[in-house]
């Protein structure tokens, strides 16, 4: 395998941003919920991948929480030094649990890592609008020439009917939904109205702060998780768990994904349902 060497001046011309430690200093750019039936004309549209988000900080591949990913050396060897990349570790549709088990391991399973792809979708901190950053990312990935490093496919759609058709195709095929990124948007940290997610349910993450014991038929097992979301709201998630998960629930401090349909006037999710544990070592 040939390891690509990309001169810094070329990366600057492409719009890439030298790391200088910024990968850990800058919060990620996060998507907001899309309004009903959005007009896609101003956006690049891609599938919402159900993977594990990972950022290359120019030296080390890290989870969203900043912890390093235990990864084979060959997997990261082609990634450019000094350049921050954001992407998703991905095995394919409906394979999140398998992927999560793999990336949690403290010892590398080389054969299983051969199936993983690093799907790039952003150059954090880079100049230019998203169209420019996307083109720079595609040029960079082409120079890397590693088959497991790809750019998430993006497309422009002419109208709402085309968006609805693509959305239904993705859901029918086992996908989670779509992501819409304004073509003219500059990169910004935090949750941004320039980045939208279109899914059948609302989904968010929260931190587990306590276990609520079960009662009745759940005596001796988990009744609910007490959680705190990123806005500081505290509530309970009591449904969506298997019997095995109630016997061995996510630990205090873990991050979980939950789904819901709407919020109360106080901003608390109505009827939140546990989906999976998202925290990683």
Note the pLDDT tens digit of each residue in 27-70: 888 898 898 889 999 999 999 998 999 999 999 999 988 899 99
Q: Is residue 17 predicted with pLDDT exceeding 70?
A: no
Is residue 96 pLDDT above 50, yes or no?
yes
Neighbours of 159 (CB within 10 A): 10
pLDDT band at 106 (very low <50, low <70, confident <90, very high): confident
Mind listing the pLDDT tens digit for each residue in 152-187? 999 999 999 999 999 999 999 989 899 999 999 999
Give residue 135's pLDDT.
Answer: 97
Residue 167: count of CB within 10 angstroms of its CB: 21
Highest mean pLDDT pick, 90-94, 155-159, 239-243: 155-159
Region 202-277: CATH code: 2.40.50.140
Residue with the larger pLDDT of the pair 90 and 105: 90
Same topology between domain 8-198 and domain 202-277: no
User: CA angle, 128 as apex, 125 and 132 as ends, to 5°?
Assistant: 110
Output the CATH code of domain 8-198.
Answer: 3.30.470.30
Instruction: Tell me, yes or no, if 197 is annotated catalytic.
Output: no
Percent residues over pLDDT 70 in the chain: 90
More confident call, 104 vs 238: 238
User: Band of the pLDDT at 263, cuts 50, 70, 90?
Assistant: confident
Q: What is the pLDDT of residue 70?
A: 94
pLDDT tens digits for 211-235?
A: 999 988 888 999 999 999 988 999 9
Domain extents for the chain?
A: 8-198, 202-277
Q: Strand order in 85-90's β-sheet?
A: 61-63, 52-56, 85-90, 117-122, 149-151
Q: What was the pLDDT predicted at 73?
A: 95
Residue 4 has pLDDT above 50, yes or no: no
Q: Kindly state the percentage of the chain with pLDDT values over 90.
A: 63
* Mean pLDDT of all residues belonging to the chain: 87
Q: What is the pLDDT of residue 262?
A: 74
pLDDT of residue 9: 41
| Phi, psi angles (nearest 5°) of residue 208 | -75, 125
Catalytic residue among 29, 40, 47, 48: 48
- What are the φ/ψ torsions at residue 140 (nearest 5 degrees)? -65, -45
């Amino acid at each position: 395998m040939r390891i690509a060497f990309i001169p810094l001046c070329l990366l600057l011309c492409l719009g890439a941003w030298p790391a200088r430690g910024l990968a850990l200093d800058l919060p990620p750019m996060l998507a907001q919920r899309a309004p009903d039936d959005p007009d896609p004309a101003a956006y690049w549209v891609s599938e919402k991948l159900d993977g594990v988000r990972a950022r290359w900080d120019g030296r080390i591949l890290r989870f969203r929480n900043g912890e390093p990913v235990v990864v084979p050396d060959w997997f990261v060897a082609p990634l450019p030094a000094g350049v921050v990349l954001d992407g998703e570790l991905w095995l394919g549709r409906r394979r999140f649990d398998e992927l999560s088990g793999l990336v949690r391991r403290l010892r590398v399973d080389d054969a299983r890592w051969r199936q993983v792809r690093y799907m790039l979708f952003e150059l954090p901190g880079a100049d230019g609008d998203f169209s420019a950053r996307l083109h720079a990312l595609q040029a960079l990935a082409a120079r890397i020439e590693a088959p497991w490093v790809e750019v998430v496919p993006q497309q422009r759609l002419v109208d709402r009917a085309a968006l609805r058709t693509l959305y239904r195709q993705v859901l029918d095929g086992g996908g989670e939904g779509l992501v819409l990124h304004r073509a003219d948007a500059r990169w910004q940290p935090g949750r941004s109205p320039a980045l939208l997610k279109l899914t059948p349910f609302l989904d968010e993450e929260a931190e587990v702060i306590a276990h609520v014991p079960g009662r009745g038929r759940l005596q001796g097992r988990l009744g609910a998780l007490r959680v705190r979301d990123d806005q500081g709201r505290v509530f309970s998630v009591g449904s969506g768990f298997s019997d095995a998960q109630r016997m061995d629930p996510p630990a205090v401090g873990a991050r979980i994904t939950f789904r819901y349909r709407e919020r109360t006037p106080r901003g608390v999710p109505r009827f939140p349902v546990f989906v999976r544990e998202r925290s990683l070592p």
